[in-house]
Amino acid sequence: EAEVAQSPRYKITEKSQAVAFWCDPISGHATLYWYRQILGQGPELLVQFQDESVVDDSQLPKDRFSAERLKGVDSTLKIQPAELGDSAMYLCASSLLGSGRYTGELFFGEGSRLTVL
C-alpha cells in the first residue's frame, strides 16, 4: 500500500541551529500539506501546495520557516534558526485534491518529531 514517506523520524537540535524535514507524498497526489502538532494539541496547517505552487501559507512563520516543492513531487520544510517553541511533531500529508479524484481524505506520514534544546 502506498504511503507518505517522511524523514527523519526523530531530530534533536540545539536552538539557533538549522533543521530540515523531507516528505515524499503518495505518487499521483497533487496536493501536499505540512502540519505542526504540538504535544496535547491537534495538527495545525503550516503550508499547502498544489503541484509546485503554494496554496496556503498563512500560518507559516516566514521569518524562520520555509517550504518548497520544486518539481511538484517531494517537499522540504526548513527551520532556521530553531527555537525552543518549535519542539513538535511535523506531519506531512498528501491528497488527490487537484487531480479530479478527491474524496476529502488526507493521507498522513508518520511524522518527524523535533526536540529543540
With CB under 8 A as the contact rule, the residue among 49, 109, 114, 116 that binds other proteins is 109
Nearer to other proteins, 1 or 71 (CB): 1
Report long-range pairs for 69-72 (Cβ below 8 Å, ≥24 apart).
Answer: 69/32, 72/30
Cell of 28: 499521483
Stretch that binds other proteins, among 15-23, 43-51, 64-72, 78-86 (CB under 8 A): 43-51
Work out the end-to-end distance of the chain between its first and last CA atoms, rounded to an integer number of angstroms. Answer: 36
- Give residues in contact with other proteins (CB under 8 A): 4, 40-45, 48, 55-56, 91, 93, 97, 102, 104-106, 108-111
